[in-house]
Amino acid sequence: MSVLIDGILAILAIYLALQCLMAQRLTQTVFLFFAFGLALALAWIRLGAVDVAIAEAAIAAGFLGVLLLDALRDFSPTFSQKQKNPETGQNPPGKDDNKPPFLPRLALGFGLGLFLLISLEAIWKTPEGGGLTAASEAFLPESGVEHPVTAVLLNFRAYDTWLEIGVILMGLLAIFVVGGIRLYSRPFTAAQDPLLRQVILFFTPVLFLFGAFLLYFGKSGPGGAFQAAVLWGAIGILLHLGGRPVFSVMPRWLLQLILTMGLGFFLLLGFLLMATGNALFEYPPAYSGIMILIVETLAAVSIAAALTAIFANVNLMKEDPNQTESTT
């Protein structure tokens, strides 16, 4: 029975991935992408990876999906112009003329098929390496937290996590580069809908509480900085959409502080520990629990701010017509 469920889920994920890439309209692609993310999240749950499921549903399907949806506002008009009959979803016959020629496609398909067979064989025959479960279990009491995934993320392999928080900040900087750095200069004109505003106002404290719960609960169960950060980031995005762009009323230095404090505190704490003769990110066992909690909280706030800023900036790019002339 359980094999049946897993099999159906696997086939569903593959089907959704294929449909997502082959869909005729971009809207379909994006919504199938949401569905694909949720199918994967279910797969993570089936595999016992609840943290990954929350991260996938919240970050990959949720946040990226929202970004893609937002991008549709840019792309969809021309797409429906090219496509005369958007209601039925049928492809007009003249659309296929810019497809690549047949032979390279055949060769590519053949190559991919061969590659798939080899990879299936390789995965089928993978010897059992045993993983690092035993090692993590042995050192878990010394890590200061009770949940093994949090212990790996924030203590055993904190270096990777620190770099990863850096990657988010770099992604934000990179998006600034693309969109111009006149960030938050324009107020965002939001939908003036009383119901929407009330619902957003209702959801703000709920999301905040739930995020804080996930953050604190990450010590002993699934949850932690990233999951909490996405929920808090969702607050920022919702407020932004509801006509309360939090960042535009904030002084610039405060915004910069919020964006960088997670990364900065993480590193400065590491340097401080180095100054006392430990290695970088080597938390003394007696204080590791509280240190990890502080690092996680600040990191979550920073990531939440970065996610909101990524969304808001991508939005602002569209509202900025006079940039187009200045850079071409």
Partner 1 sequence: MTIKEVITVILLLVGCFFFLAGTLGVLRFPDIFSRLHALTKADNLGLGFIAAGMALHIASPLAALKIFFIWFFTLLASSTSCYLIARFQKEQDQSGNRKEGG
Partner 2 sequence: MTDLPTSPFPALLVGLPFLLATLSLFFSSKGKAVVGLIGSFLTALLAIVAFVEVTQQGTVIHILGGWEPPLGILLRMDSLAAVFIGMTALVGVFISLYARGYFRAQEDSSEGFPLFWPLWLFLWAGLNGLFLSNDLFNLFVTIEVIGICAVALAVLSGKKAALFAGLRYLLAAITGSMAYLFGVALIYGSTGTLDLALLGQVLEPGPTTTFALLVITPGLMIKMAGFPFHFWLPPAHSSAPAPVSALLSALVVKGAFYILLRLWTEVFGVSLTFAAGQLIGVAGAVAVIWGSWQAFMQTSLKLIVAHSSVAQLGYLLLVFPLLVLAPGVTADSADWLSPAWTAGVYQVIAHAFAKASFFLSAGIIIMAMGHDRIESFRDLAARMPMTVMAIGLAGVSLIGLPPSGGFMAKWNLLQGIFLSGQWWWAPAVLGGSLLTASYVFMLMRLAFAPARKKEPLRPVPFRLQVFALLLALGSFLIILPAESLIQFLESSQIFGSGIESIVEGGVYGND
Partner 3 sequence: MEAYKIYSLTSAVLFVIGIGGIFIARHFIKKIIATIIMGGGVFLCFVSFAERDALNFADPVPHAMVITGIVVAVASAAFALALARRIYQLTGEESFTKDQ
Return the residues of window 71-110 that contact partner 3 according to CB under 8 A: 71, 74-75, 78-79, 98, 100, 105, 108-109
Report the site for partner 2 in 79-98 (rule: CB under 8 A). none
Residue 166 interacts with partner 2 (CB under 8 A)?
A: yes
Build a one-symbol-per-residue string for 115-144: x at contacts with partner 3 by CB under 8 A, - elsewhere. Answer: xx--xx--xx-x-xxxxxxx-xx-------
Cβ proximity to partner 2, 144 vs 218, nearer residue: 144
Alpha carbon separation from 322 to 104, 158, 189 (Å, rounded): 42, 43, 17
Distance CA 129, CA 138 (A): 18
Choice from 1, 4, 103, 178 touching partner 2 (CB under 8 A): 178
Of 271, 261, 273, 272, nearest to 298 (Cα)? 261
Burial class of 255 by CB neighbour count within 10 A (0 to 12, 13 to 18, 19+) = middle
Distance CA 54, CA 63 (A): 12
Cβ proximity to partner 1, 78 vs 198, nearer residue: 198
Shortest distance, position 21 Cβ to partner 2, whole Å: 14
Interaction partner, residue 196 (partner 1, partner 3, partner 2, none; CB < 5-8 Å by kind)? partner 1
Choice from 232, 247, 283, 311 touching partner 2 (CB under 8 A): 283
> Could you tell me if residue 207 is left (phi over 0), alpha (psi between -120 and 50 degrees) or otherwise beta?
alpha
Report the site for partner 2 in 134-153 (rule: CB under 8 A). 135-136, 139
Choice from 170, 206, 272, 294 touching partner 2 (CB under 8 A): 170
Q: How far is CA 209 from the centre of its chain?
A: 20
Choice from 81, 322, 324, 326 touching partner 3 (CB under 8 A): 324
Residues listed for the chain: 328
Q: Which residue's entry shows tokens 């187009």?
A: 324
Let me know: does 154 contact 161? Beta carbons within 8 Å. yes
- Taking the CA of residue 84 as centre, how many other CA atoms within 13 Å lie in the half-sphere pointing to its CB? 4
Residue 195 interacts with partner 1 (CB under 8 A)?
A: yes
Cβ proximity to partner 2, 212 vs 269, nearer residue: 269
Helix (H) or strand (E) holding 287: none
- Taking the CA of residue 97 as centre, how many other CA atoms within 13 Å lie in the half-sphere pointing to its CB? 5
Of 166, 137, 134, 171, nearest to 151 (Cα)? 137
Give me the residues that bind partner 2 (CB under 8 A), please: 118-119, 121-123, 125-132, 135-136, 139, 155-160, 163-164, 166-167, 169-171, 173-174, 176-178, 180-182, 253, 256-257, 259-260, 263-264, 267-268, 270-271, 274, 278-283, 327-328
Q: What does the binding site for partner 1 look like in residue numbers (CB under 8 A)?
A: 191, 193, 195-196, 199, 202-203, 206
